[in-house]
Structure 1
Amino acid sequence: MRLTEFWARMDQHLGPAYARTWAETQVVQELGGRTVVEALADGEHAKTVWRAVWAHLQLPPSER
């Protein structure tokens, strides 16, 4: 997954006005207690981060 697809999915589920703020402030336990932005900056693959977001937000299986 490319970062552009990752951010498109974030925008789709959280809204373009809120997705970046959420990614900067919400600590996701599935990412080892990091935020999305921290995990991506640490080199986590976008697909790994998306799966953690998917689990955290309890999105439907079709969105995985």
Structure 2
Amino acid sequence: MRYREFWQLVDEVLGSGHGRALVRELVLDRLGNRTAEQALDAGVEPRDVWHALCDALDIPDPQRWGHDQHRQAPPRR
């Protein structure tokens, strides 16, 4: 997953305003008690940050990938 795809999913799945606030403010245990933004800045793969964010928000797998029927879900590590 590229950074561009990460931000597109944030906007589409979480809403542009709300999603970006969550990326900046929600501290995630799975990311070493960092926000998604801090984890991305530290070099954590966007795919891993996206999964951690979705898991923390209890977003079901089918809803994680937005409305694009052709988008392939990146595998979890």
TM over 0.5: yes
Q: TM-score, normalised by structure 2?
A: 0.75
Runs of 4+ in 1 over 4 A off after TM superposition: none
Quote how far apart the aligned CAs of 1:54 are: 1.4
Distance 1:52 1:21 in 2: 16
Matched residue type, 2:61? P
Listed as ranges, the gaps of 5+ residues in structure 2 are: 65-72
- Decide which structure has greater helix share: 1
Structure with larger Rg: 2
**Offset, 1:32:** 1.3
Deviation, 1:13, is 2.1
Deviations 1:6-40 (A, max 9, x none): 11111112211222221111101111110011000
CA distance in 1, matches of 2:26, 2:60: 20
Percent identity of equivalent pairs: 34
Task: Count how many residue pairs are aligned between Structure 1 and Structure 2.
Answer: 64
Question: 2-side partners of 1:13 and 1:56: how far apart?
Answer: 14
CA RMSD of aligned residues (A): 1.2
2:69 alignment counterpart = none
